[in-house]
Amino acid sequence: MKKMLTLVFCCMALCGQLLYGQCSGTVTLSNQALVNAFNCPTFSGNLTIQGNDIVNLDGLSELETVTGNFLIQNNPNLVSANLPNLVLVDNGALRITSNASLISPNWSGSARTMSAATTTSCIPSTSTTTTP
């Protein structure tokens, strides 16, 4: 009976991890398919979005919290950056740079709370402006 319960518990833990993807560590989403498959409301670690074929961030629409650096950079074809549920970036930086096709991110409810260590940089061109 103990072995059966242990097996069930392990299967549940593994299935949960598969359903919610990798939600911690250092992760780079380097193409649109990876962005679309992202399924983490909370991410603990450094999350980077960087790739030539990324055109939108719709796959990140459920993202609420990033504890670490959140970098959206070097995406020449990114035209839409809607992150309506992002409310917290903590213990890192939110930085949006070098996204030539992005006019401005549309984050109506985004990043309402940031830690003191967080800086924001939000310029679509190759120049960078940092706001404390």
- Whether 47 shows a pLDDT value over 70: the answer reads yes
> How many C-beta neighbours within 10 Å does residue 54 have?
27
> What pLDDT was estimated at residue 11?
47
Report percent pLDDT > 90 for the chain.
Answer: 49
Residue pLDDT, tens place only, 54-80: 999 999 999 999 999 999 999 999 999
Distances (CA, A) of 41 to 20, 24, 48, 62, 89: 9, 11, 15, 5, 12
- Whether 121 shows a pLDDT value over 60: the answer reads no
Distances (CA, A) of 25 to 28, 44, 59, 70, 117: 10, 6, 19, 12, 19
Distances (CA, A) of 113 to 67, 83, 100, 102: 12, 14, 27, 23
Task: Please give the average per-residue pLDDT across 34-56, as a whole number.
Answer: 97
Residue pLDDT, tens place only, 81-117: 989 899 888 888 889 999 999 987 766 655 555 553 4
- How far, in Å, CA of 84 to CA of 111, rounded? 9
- How far, in Å, CA of 29 to CA of 74, rounded? 12
> What pLDDT was estimated at residue 103?
80
β-strand partners of 46: 26
- Whether 41 shows a pLDDT value over 60: the answer reads yes
How confident is the prediction for the chain on average, in pLDDT? 78
pTM score of the predicted model:
0.71
Report percent pLDDT > 70 for the chain.
Answer: 64
